[in-house]
Amino acid sequence: MHCSVNGGYFEPFFIGITRSGEWKSCDGPDTDWEKGNGKAVVLSPDRSHRGLLVLDQGKYESIDVDVVFPVLHGRQGEDGAMQGLLELTGIPYVGCDVLRRGRKCRDCHARFLGCPTAKQH
């Protein structure tokens, strides 16, 4: 997906989330990103800022964010938690909103367990 971004107009910023839950900046979608020297990253809780705070040598650098493409898998990556966090911070994102993402996750689990669910269109 990152190859489709117009680098002359947009500046992508990649964030990886470690298995222990740490958010780190990374150079791109590389499988070895955790071995790099990524800086700690958090979403700004200030809705008027709509961006990231990157910890660099004990100080936070502020980075404005226009939109987030949440490309996640696993725990809290597919249940609406990320969308909820983005909505709390006021940062726009693509894809399903919290309710639809959470419902989709529940439907998938229900089908896996053999529980009846509404038919998909």
Predicted pLDDT of residue 92: 92
Identify any residues that bridge with 115 across adjacent strands, giving them in sequence order.
Answer: none
Q: Are residues 52 and 85 located together in one domain of the fold?
A: no
Residue range(s) defining the domain that contains residue 85: 73-90+97-121
* Sole residue written with tokens 């298995």: 19
Question: How far is 32 from 119, CA to CA, in rounded Å?
Answer: 40
Tell me the per-residue pLDDT of 73-116, one tens digit each, with 9 for 90 and over.
Answer: 766 666 678 888 898 999 998 887 666 555 555 666 666 667 77
Dump the DSSP string for 38-79.
Answer: PPBEEE-S-TTT-EEEEEETTEEEEEE-S-B-----STTTSS
Q: Model's pTM, two decimal places?
A: 0.70
Residue 27, domain CATH: 3.40.50.20
Q: Are residues 13 and 62 located together in one domain of the fold?
A: yes
Predicted pLDDT of residue 42: 93
Tell me the per-residue pLDDT of 2-59, one tens digit each, with 9 for 90 and over.
Answer: 566 666 777 888 898 888 888 999 887 777 777 778 899 999 999 988 899 999 989 9
Q: Are residues 53 and 80 located together in one domain of the fold?
A: no
Domain total of the chain: 2
Q: Are residues 14 and 39 located together in one domain of the fold?
A: yes
Q: Are residues 61 and 86 located together in one domain of the fold?
A: no
Q: Are residues 41 and 24 located together in one domain of the fold?
A: yes
Q: Are residues 8 and 60 located together in one domain of the fold?
A: yes
